A and B are shown apart, each in its own frame.
Chain A
Amino acid sequence: MTGSSSPRTGGVLDLRDDALASCVACGLCLPHCPTYRVTGDERRSPRGRIALMRAVDEGATAPDAEWLEAMDTCILCRGCETACPSAVPFGELMSDTRAAVTRTRQVPLRLRVGLAVLVRPRLLRGLSRILALLQRLHLLPGRLPLPGRLPMRDPRQKGRVGGEVVLFTGCVMDAWQPEVHAAVEEVLEACGATVSRSGDAAGCCGALHAHAGLEGAARSLAERVMAAIPEQVPVLVDSAGCGATLRGYGSLVGTPEAAAFSARVQDVHEWLAADIDRMPAATVGKRSTVIVQDPCHLRHAQGCHGSVRTVLAPYADTVELDDEGLCCGAGGAFSVLQPELASEVRLRKTASIRRAMATTGAEAVVSANPGCAIHLAAAGHVVRHPLEVVAERIRGKQGGAHGR
């Protein structure tokens, strides 16, 4: 269970009492919820979901298929938390609800298989290479949630040990977007930092397991990650989803050590922005204009999306989207599990991106989360990691874009 030790309801879902009671049903969250925005349906809203949790917890309603659908369709973007005047910990409530649900309901097979692959780096890389080959042979359907060009070679680079900072490399990103890690490392080193990589020993952060309600699995992955990174140095993350998860280890594992580990975790942009003067001047390339897409796990979960702009400012002009940070619909495994809803949600984001492109002439989108990048690239956008844009201006060579 996550959250503090305040009393729990003791009901069917056994949620934290104060968390559940703090929702006053005002509805201010509604427009900030991506699934409510596209369905107009209270059951797809934070307010509705909390009321439904309460009803089941109290035993007033059965957790039937309709109820489960309401819970399964939450992207866990936590946009509602940012909008909530009463600071309802929605993410905690939803995670606890899903954990309670998985105690009685099997996680779908395809998700279980996927999650099993993620925690086995060598298997993941092997399968990825097969996918990459199929991709080169044009044997994969175009709209699969995959990067535009999967790497063929083993992307691993031997990590240094004893660096001043540790770069958390994770699972999918390491296998599919190694160029992002390389760019990030390059930027960090250009700032004078020595960088270690967390590598296979740490492996997957467990975000998707936690999303799916597999609390036990998430917790043991957390233990593995923490054991693999014993150094008392900043743990920097270039994937917003992993960053939010690592920062949540304190409450997930519930030990002082985990809390101390979480406190060392920083989004890489946040770390760079804290001492922006050490970043080198742009020496090559032209100043471009990029559209900033805020990953929910940066904006709502970590609240450090401003740093992306700070870090980009010396190297590129940034354009804001006009959708107030509404989720793009990627949501970890959400785009795989709820493809139609994820596409509907993405339509709003792509419309906003198009408006920004039309008014500013910007062509590329930057996103600090691999899930968002892949999801948006699948809709035809050119999406890059912010630090790829930075790296290019300090080295002058083309980084890989995920778009087509």
Chain B
Amino acid sequence: MWWTRRRSTDPLTRDLEAAIGADSVEGGASARLLYSRDGSIIRGGKAGVVCLPGSTEQVAACVRIARAHGRAFVPRGAGTGLTGGAVPCDDPVVIATTRMDRILEVDVDRRIAWVEPGVVNLDLTSHLAGTGLHFAPDPSSQQACSIGGNVANNSGGPHCLLYGVTSVHVTAVEVVLPDGEVVVLGEEEGDAVGYDLRGAFVGGEGTLGIATRIAVRLTPDPPEVRTLLLDFTTIEEAAETVSAVIAAGIVPAALELMDQQVVQAVEPFADAGYPLDAAAVLIVELDGLPAGAAREAESVAAVARECGARTVRIAEDEEERARIWKGRKGAFGAIANIKPSYYLHDTVIPRTRLAEVVTGVNAIAERHGLIVMNVFHAGDGNLHPLLVFDHREPGVMDHVFAAGEEIVRLSLEVGGVLSGEHGIGLEKRRFMPLLFSPEDLAAQRALRDAFDPDGVANPHKVLPSGASCGDVQDLPEIPEGVWV
């Protein structure tokens, strides 16, 4: 390649270079600094040497060499994760799959594609243009995140309300196990023979091995899409509408809520015509065959009016629809312009309790003197309370962390869970015992140990352990902001 290098004197680096080429092994200070972080606010990670393999065989070689040198390894995709899942602890070998970015095969008839893990989520859908098919999981980072990362985190997105999260769309996966062995888990179509090891692997956050080839199910584009914008004078009415829509037997393709502060922040650049005086707006998308989509749109409109919706707007054309979504998808960029720092949480609660929990979250923020903004996947109860602040104010961080923990506890109190799509990583492992008993955690440990008996794959993540992750604090010193 284009840069020349000296031969490394470090035996681990030398072995890695011999196996996958010097151009694919980086041990310099700059590389180690950058690969010590991901998209999260967590700092203090410490990468050993960084590998950028180009094939399954090279990934397996990296894993085996790391082990031979008594080192752990940390898999990494695009590094857009929000819970520190790719933050390395204690000098491990970082194995980034970004160079494995080929779409290997698209079978339009059987609606299956084989991709390498470094393929960017949105690139697959772009590649499918004209086939009438798309890849359904659409996390808000979809323009940057990789499908390998989606597999590791079992990623969601607005449209997984109807279509299901990543696990539903991954049918088989080739994995380099933590001992360097290569296996294929799952089947291209249908249920697994034997244990659903594919299902267990997806969402493993890189602690069960490294996905090197992935078979994904492709979803037909809906013939009809109706996008509704509903606005409310209280956030409670909006939340009640969410429950009422589900209770009416309608599962929209997407059902998103934005509160007033978010609406006011995004309207100037989205030009979507969001009512600025509304306490909350809902974006409801209904798709499918024409008659059903039309009837569901009518039902949603009626339910919303009954719940107190002030106006119900149906996007007239694709351009109007795009503008409505532009505001939702750009929400976090706009927020970054209000305050320099923000900290985003991700919990799920029963969707019948949205109103009371959102009220509770707002009260928590107020008590701590923080601004909270709500923009989230309301349809499946997936909250994303966003604490907005200026980290330069003295003492504000204590309030941010305290409020964050209170939000987590409130979510659990009403029967919720710790994460809907961002995962546990380093960020939330200390909360795991709040949701799971020691026996529950032992069962999860049994799964992990079966995949990784020696604990070399992405250690310190997901499950709480006595050990700390090198210099990483449980929570970071200076959050620099995150997005969803």
Contact = CB atoms under 8 A, between A and B. Distances in A.
B37 A51 contact: yes
B143 A28 contact: yes
Given A42-B79, A64-B29, A69-B3, A86 B337 contact: yes
A87 B31 contact: no
A31 interface: yes
B141 A52 contact: no
Nearest to A43: B30
What size tier do the contact residues of chain B reach? 35 or more
A130 B78 CA distance: 48
B34 A27 contact: no
Contacts of A344: 2
A25 B86 CA distance: 14
B123 interface: yes
B336 interface: yes
A31 B78 CA distance: 9
A113 interface: no
B243 interface: no
A61 B29 contact: yes
Interface string A328-367: 0000000000111100100000000000000000000000
Contacts of A41: 26, 31, 52, 98
A41 B118 CA distance: 12
A66 interface: yes
A51 B330 contact: no
Interface in A16-43: 21-31, 39-43
Interface in B7-41: 26, 28-31, 33-35, 37, 39
Given A40-B118, A86-B337, A27 B31 contact: no
Given A28-B144, A40-B99, A85-B332, A62 B34 contact: no
Interface string B205-232: 0000000000000000000000000000
A248 B33 CA distance: 33
A313 B332 CA distance: 36
B406 interface: no
A48 B47 CA distance: 15
A271 interface: no
B33 A87 contact: no
Contact of A66 (B31, B37, B120, B481): B31
A25 B26 contact: no
Contacts of B340: 21-22
B52 A28 contact: no
A85 B480 CA distance: 14
B336 A85 contact: yes
Contacts of A379: none
Contacts of B28: 64, 66
Contacts of A86: 333, 336-337, 481
Contacts of A28: 80, 141, 143-144, 483
Contacts of B481: 24, 26, 86
Nearest to A60: B33
A31 B143 contact: yes
A152 interface: no
B98 A40 contact: yes
A27 B33 contact: no
A64 B141 CA distance: 33
Contacts of B342: 24
B375 interface: no
A55 B337 contact: no
B29 A42 contact: no
Interface in A50-80: 51-52, 55, 61-62, 64, 66-67, 69-70
Interface in B95-121: 96, 98-99, 101, 118, 120
Contacts of B334: 85
Contacts of B467: none
B193 interface: no
A360 to B, nearest CB: 13
Contacts of B122: 31
Interface of B: 1-3, 26, 28-31, 33-35, 37, 39, 52, 78-80, 96, 98-99, 101, 118, 120, 122-123, 126, 129, 141, 143-145, 330, 332-334, 336-337, 340, 342, 480-483
27 contacts: A22-B336, A24-B483, A25-B39, A26-B39, A26-B80, A26-B141, A26-B332, A26-B481, A27-B145, A28-B80, A28-B143, A31-B143, A40-B99, A42-B34, A42-B35, A42-B96, A43-B30, A43-B34, A48-B34, A52-B34, A66-B31, A70-B30, A84-B333, A85-B332, A85-B334, A86-B333, A86-B336
